[in-house]
Amino acid sequence: MLRQVLRKPLTKFGLVLVCLMPFAWLCSGIFLDGLGPNPAEYLIRSTGNWTLRFLCITLLVTPLRVVFNMPELLRFRRNLGVLTFIYALMHALCYSVFDMGLAWDEIVADIVKRPFIAVGFAGAVMLSLLAATSFNAAIKMLGAVRWRMLHRLVYAIAVLAILHFFWMRSGKQDFTEVFVYAGILGVLLGWRIWHAAHSRLQARL
């Protein structure tokens, strides 16, 4: 039953629609004055939070697929990855427009000067590489092996994202949420290491 629902094209469409709801909600907040006293800061922070959340959801696909033996889930991985990129792009745009007023020279200076920004920028660049190679023709062009190597960058992106968030919160030493996201991503990456080691062991037996 669940497998059949997952196979339907409408499910994929519905998933993307649901995932764009936070975005729609933030947009409506701009026009309905629903983003609190400092809307610029609210937009920058919430797009950052949603990027982290979608990164976790995207990295959850493979473990779920393997553990529950549900190859159908693979169909959503690309959509979720691209959605992660869209939220990251919004985050970078909000920072560039609201915080920096699109002064490119100041943005460049900020990236060079502040490790906190540099780490976020590096993660965003890597993420755009993945988004730019997220269609079938790109896989064919690169070859599956090289494509898979490239897309392992997502693990580096996860580490950079946590570091970026950690530095952001280090002013007030308020790390509770940082540890929650680090814990989730740690489990998701740890499972992959465990799974790779385990399959290799089984292959040998």
CB of 183 to another protein, least distance (A): 18
- Does residue 168 belong to the site contacting another protein (CB under 8 A)? yes
For residues 82, 88, 94, 100, the Cα torsion angle rounded to the nearest 10 degrees is -130
C-alpha to C-alpha distance for 15 and 158, rounded to whole angstroms: 22
Q: Which is nearer to another protein, 28 or 170 (CB)?
A: 170
Site for another protein in 96-155 (CB under 8 A): 97-99, 101, 106, 110, 113-114, 116
- Does residue 174 belong to the site contacting another protein (CB under 8 A)? yes
CB of 72 to another protein, least distance (A): 42
Q: Are 178 and 169 in contact (CB under 8 A)?
A: yes
- Does residue 30 belong to the site contacting another protein (CB under 8 A)? yes
- Does residue 27 belong to the site contacting another protein (CB under 8 A)? no
| Residue ranges in the chain assigned as alpha helix (H) | 2-7, 9-19, 21-32, 39-67, 74-94, 104-113, 115-132, 136-142, 144-151, 153-169, 176-204
Q: Which is nearer to another protein, 172 or 200 (CB)?
A: 172
- Give me 95's structure tokens: 């920072």
Total interface residues for another protein by CB under 8 A: 24
Residue partners of 140: CB distance under 8 A and separation at least 6:
none
- Does residue 38 belong to the site contacting another protein (CB under 8 A)? yes
- Does residue 40 belong to the site contacting another protein (CB under 8 A)? yes
CA-nearest of 84, 20, 81, 5 to 48 is 84
- Does residue 28 belong to the site contacting another protein (CB under 8 A)? no
CB of 41 to another protein, least distance (A): 8
The DSSP-derived string for 62-111 is: HHHHHHTT-GGGHHHHHHHHHHHHHHHHHHHHHIIIIITTT-HHHHHHHH
- Does residue 166 belong to the site contacting another protein (CB under 8 A)? no
- Does residue 180 belong to the site contacting another protein (CB under 8 A)? no
| Residues at the site binding another protein, with contacts judged by CB under 8 A | 30, 37-40, 43, 97-99, 101, 106, 110, 113-114, 116, 167-168, 170-176
